[in-house]
Structure 1
Amino acid sequence: MPHLIVEYSANLPAFPEAQALAELNAAVVASPEVANEADLKSRLVRVGSFQVGTQPAQRAFVHAQLRLLAGRTPEAKQDLAERVAGVLRRLTPRPEGVLVQLSVEIVDMDRPSYIRERL
């Protein structure tokens, strides 16, 4: 815990993956909600098959999901969402003629059913 999953559409080929991971991790672990930086697991997923809406317009997306053990205040969740969104706003490519949608979602994980071990 936490888990950060960022999906982005394949029509954003200039998405700076390594830079995004480094900056996202730094932003999230700077939060007082993350006790140990080594607990953060982040990944980027380039989505090759996708559709945004129903129109044939040029559209793209970046969606981040930050999964945390339940129990955070709404203010803490908002802060974490803004940390993630701030990095993605800065780093997401904006190709000419392409509408890019950005979304960030904070998801509570059920504490009793979450298993975490260091092997």
Structure 2
Amino acid sequence: MKKLIAVVTLLLAFSINANAQDKSELTSTDKGKKEAAMLTEFLGLNDTQNADFARLFTQKHTVLEDKTLSAERKQELTRVMDAKIRASLDGNQIEKLEKNPELLKKLIN
């Protein structure tokens, strides 16, 4: 009986630990919202623009989750993300974003 209780306790302990690890990973939606918030904070975007960028970045992370994605496809996604970001911003915002290449690289890759 003691062994059975010990086995059940260990089984529950390992299953709880595995569930805790699963919850710590960010979903593509969370990653997209986080990147949109960084861009909004840096450029001072409005709520509508923030929501639009959140959807765009969520879509990016959803595509990047595909393990069969080729290097060419990833490169094309980077080019498309850059074009969409630039199309959504005005000249002053683009200029300000280009002065922060780390942020721009994080957003398009």
* TM-score over 0.5 for the pair: no
Q: Please indicate the TM-score interval, normalised by the length of the shorter structure.
A: 0.3 to 0.5
TM-score (norm 2): 0.41
Question: TM-score, normalised to structure 1's length?
Answer: 0.39
**Which structure's CA Rg is the greater one?**
2
- Of Structure 1 and Structure 2, the greater strand share is in 1
